[in-house]
Amino acid sequence: MTDQPFYPLRFEPIFQYRLWGGRRLGAWLDKSLPDGPIGEAWVLSDRDDHASLVADGPLKGSTLTELMARSKAEILGGLAARFDRFPLLLKFLDVRQMLSVQVHPSDDKPQLIPAGESGKTEAWVVLEADQKGRIYAGLKPGVTAQDLRALTTRTADDRLASFKPEPGQGVLIEAGTVHSLGDGVMVFEVQENSDVTYRLYDWDHVDAKTGKPRDLQVDAALACVDFNQGAILPVRPVAEAAAPVLRELYFDNQHFRLWRLHGAAPFSVGAAAEPRILVCVEGGGQIEHQGADFAMQRGSVTLLPAAVGVCRFRPDPTVTLLEIAVPELS
C-alpha cells in the first residue's frame, strides 16, 4: 500500500528513436525532443524496460510499475485479480516515413509470444495526415504466404489493402492483421501491453545508427498472419450521448473500449471502482478532484486510478478527449 492518496496521475512521456520517425511529437506534447527521428512517445507504460514516471504531485518520481506493485487494487479496482501489470500501453506515433510491414501474434498462439508478453491487438485514432499519407491494413483477396515472402515496394499495393487516412478516423488492428502506415501520419495508439512485433518487409530502409537494414522475422510473421482477414476499413465513432457532452464510441472489444468526448460545458469522466485514461487531442481544461484542479491540454494523458472514481471535467473553453477503459470479462 502507498501512504499517499491517489489522484489523477500524469506521466512523463518516454520518447523513442525510430528511423521512420519525425519531429512533430515535441509540439504535440509541448516537450523538447531528443536528437534524431522520434517516432513514438510512450505516454502510459508499465514495462520493465520503459516504466512511466509520475510527473507531478505527491507521487512524483514513482513509476507506474512501482505503484502497481504497491497498490494494484487502488489502481485497477475490480480488474486487480486479472492483471499483474497495467494491461494497456498507450503511445503517440509520428510516422514520417513508412513503418515496416508487420504483424502481431494473437493470445491464442503462445508459441509465438516470448515469456512475460501477451498477444497484441491495437487501434489507432488518426490525428494528422499529410497528402501522401497511407495506411495499409489487411490483405487483398487471394494473397498467399509466398506473396508476402516476396513483398517489395513495387508489389505492396497489389498485395496489401490500403487507404488514405483522414484526421478523426479510427483503425482497429487485430492480432494477425498485416499492417503498416506512414509518409506523414500521426496517430494515437492504444494496445495490449505487449511489445511483440514481427516484420515482413521494411521498405528497404537503412538505419542511420547502424548503416544496415533492420532485421526481418518473416517466418514468425507468417505464422501469425490471419489469411482470412480481408481489407480493414477505417471507422468513424458512433454517438452514444449528446449532452452534457457528445460521447462517441470508437472501439469496444475484449481488450479496450475507447470513446471520444467533445464538449464546452462541464461533464463527468472516469468510473467508480475501475481505471480510466483520458487523452486530450484538442483544446483543454481541468479535471476537478477533491477540491483540486488537474490541467489538461493537447497531448496530455491522465490516468484516473480506480480509487479516484468519477471526476468532473471543466473545458476551457472547449475540449476533445479520448476516454479509455479496460472491459470486464463477460
Among 266, 264, 281, CA closest to 323? 281
What 3-state class would DSSP assign to 78?
Answer: helix
Residue 4 has what pLDDT?
72
pLDDT digits (tens, 9 = 90+) for 186-232: 999 999 999 999 999 999 999 999 999 999 999 999 999 999 989 99
CATH 2.60.120.10 domain residues, the chain = 9-224, 238-325
Query: Which pLDDT band holds residue 328 (cuts at 50, 70, 90)?
Result: confident
From residue 303, give the alpha-carbon distance in Å to each of 26, 72, 226, 228, 271: 21, 14, 33, 37, 12
pLDDT digits (tens, 9 = 90+) for 221-249: 999 999 998 999 999 999 999 999 999 99
What 3-state class would DSSP assign to 269?
Answer: strand
Strands in 202-325 per DSSP E: 238-241, 246-252, 257-263, 267-269, 276-289, 292-297, 301-304, 311-325
Considering the four listed CATH numbers 3.20.20.20, 2.60.120.10, 3.40.220.10, 2.60.120.620, the one that applies to the domain covering 238-325 is 2.60.120.10
pTM above 0.85, yes or no: yes
Give, in words, the CATH class of 9-224. Answer: mainly beta
Torsion on CA atoms 157, 160, 164, 169, rounded to nearest 10 = 180
